[in-house]
Amino acid sequence: MKNIKTLIMAAAIGLLALSTMAGTPDPYPVYTATGVDVGTTLNYAIIGCHSSNAGTPVLTYLNFISDHATPIATFYKAGTPIMVTGANTTTSIPAATNSIAGYVGAGIIVIQHMATDTYERRILGTCTSTAIVVTVAPTTATAAGDRIWLCTADGTISGVQNTVREVVGTGIFAGQANKPLLIDLNNTTSAAAVNINCATATFVK
């Protein structure tokens, strides 16, 4: 009886510890994102990479509008991530950049905040041996252990000026397993005239 009580108590303590642990949120089987404007005339949405099956994000729904004469939604794939090494609220993000090649000026990056599994698109200004410098500071402060992904364009879908474009399918675009999927949408000058209304992906193993 004593052993059973001890086991029950240990299990209860373990569950309590798990319920109060801070860390990455529970993984998800489907991810839906909407557009964001920060320091750029582009609008973007990011499909997260913390899936329940470590699968590949496959875009199944996309809805957008832009005042650009030739609206284009561009999809990006992510390279090898680098690790953020410290907290930061400015444009200079401390990171172990000397271990990763290919970070050059004007490149597009995605910052993954690990504690909340949230994402931000930024433009790379310069890169030193100890920091990634972006043109606009992150909205959310970075922390040690966050990840930075260098992104490269890998596909597009066009639209019609000032007209909602809705695309539905089982495989509009496939990203990469365990990596974020960035979608950019161009416009002219007004941030209010461009938006990715909805982007939904399911994770395929």
- What are the sequence ranges of the domains in the chain? 30-204
Q: What is the pLDDT of residues 12-28, one digit of tens each?
A: 333 333 333 345 678 88
Structure tokens at 127: 């890169």
Tokens of 83: 């690790």
Closest CA to 134 of 100, 96, 103, 98: 103
Q: What is the pLDDT of residue 5?
A: 38
Residue 193: predicted pLDDT:
80
Residue 103 in this model has a pLDDT that exceeds 60? yes
Share of the chain above pLDDT 90, in %: 62
In the numeric block, which tokens belong to residue 66? 């832009």
What is the model's pLDDT at position 171? 84
pLDDT greater at residue 2 or residue 133: 133
| Average pLDDT, integer, range 135-147 | 95
- In this predicted structure, which of 33-37, 129-133, 190-194 has the lowest mean pLDDT? 190-194
The residues, any chain, with a CB within 8 Å of residue 182's CB and separated by 6 or more, are 44, 45, 46, 75, 76, 78, 108, 110, 121, 151
pLDDT for 177? 96
pLDDT of 164 strictly over 60: yes
Distance of alpha carbon 53 from alpha carbon 176, whole angstroms: 13
Residue 12: strand, helix, or coil: helix
Q: What is the pLDDT of residue 172?
A: 94
Q: How confident is the model at residue 48 (pLDDT cuts 50, 70, 90)?
A: very high
Strands 56-66 and 194-204: antiparallel
| Summary mean pLDDT of the chain | 84
